[in-house]
Amino acid sequence: MSPLSQAAAAVAERECFAGAPPARLYMKIWTPDAPRGAPILLFHDSLGCTSLWRGFPAALATTAGRQVIGYDRLGFGKSDPRHDVLPVDFVAREGREVAPLVLDAAGAGRFVALGHSVGGGMAAEAGAAAGERCEAVISVSALAFVDERGRAGIRRESAGFRAPGGLRGLTRHHGDKARWVLDAWADTWLSPAFDDYNFDAALAACQCPVLALQGDRDDYGGREHPARIAAHARRGRMAMIADCGHFPHREREWALAASVAAFLAV
């Protein structure tokens, strides 16, 4: 085991819940020795949950020296189920209405918002709503708008999940909520009602620095997405992650953690 892996293994982990049934949100908090700075709040992707961040939160806590807070959105992972159709503005609602509840449950004041894929939009919305409470916003593999390349990837992947046995992987993490999770993802992003999706206004409202990261082999979108994110933020930057697809936190775990830590150290 490398020294970094040993340090990550020593990160303290705590599980808890925010809210109450039927809308309890599962949370997990990673705390390094002598944490410094504002904690980092993670927003997972459309099929994700806390467990699917895998080793990244511990790696990030180790590298950045900060507490990391993850949670499962309602309907995902170990949070309570939901049976409704996601509203068109679900990204904005998550960042503006749910994130403060999670932060309060964790006892966090100032924070850093980091989101993967659709979570990148949620991070921006959280940053915009929080004002000076948010120290920085980081998007990873976020689609800044809807285009045919992204939708083609969703059609391809969702077809695989709907094939016989295709839900097994999702079921391991979401239990009997897996079908709802899949439908919520595909039906939302492929709906004409989502054609005009973007989070440009939230980015413009963020008072803090914004970093947009994207893998150079992302099947869902190219550099035009982080470029748009950086361009609409008041203090925006973008960077491409070499030899990486849509899931940098799995494919380039320590490289992503190092990029985030370096950005926050400036």
CATH number of the domain to which 243 belongs: 3.40.50.1820
pLDDT in tens, 140-167: 999 999 999 999 999 999 999 999 999 9
The pLDDT assigned to 8 comes to 74
Reference 71, options 16, 32, 126, 117; nearest CA is: 16
Cα gap 140→226, rounded to integer Å: 9
> What confidence score (pLDDT) does residue 5 get?
73
- Going by C-beta distance under 8 Å and a sequence separation of 6 or more, which residues neighbour residue 165? none
Report the number of distinct structural domains present in the chain.
1
* Full residue range of the structural domain in which residue 220 is found: 3-265
Q: Which two tokens stand for residue 36?
A: 């410094």
Strand order in the sheet with 134-140: 12-18, 25-31, 68-71, 40-43, 111-116, 134-140, 210-215, 236-241
> In this prediction, what percent of the chain has a pLDDT beyond 90?
96
In this model, does residue 7 exceed pLDDT 90? no
What does the pLDDT look like over 58-97, one tens digit per residue? 999 999 999 999 999 999 999 999 999 999 999 999 999 9
Residue 110 has pLDDT above 80, yes or no: yes
Rg (CA), the chain: 17
Positive or negative, the Cα torsion across 171, 41, 56, 27? negative
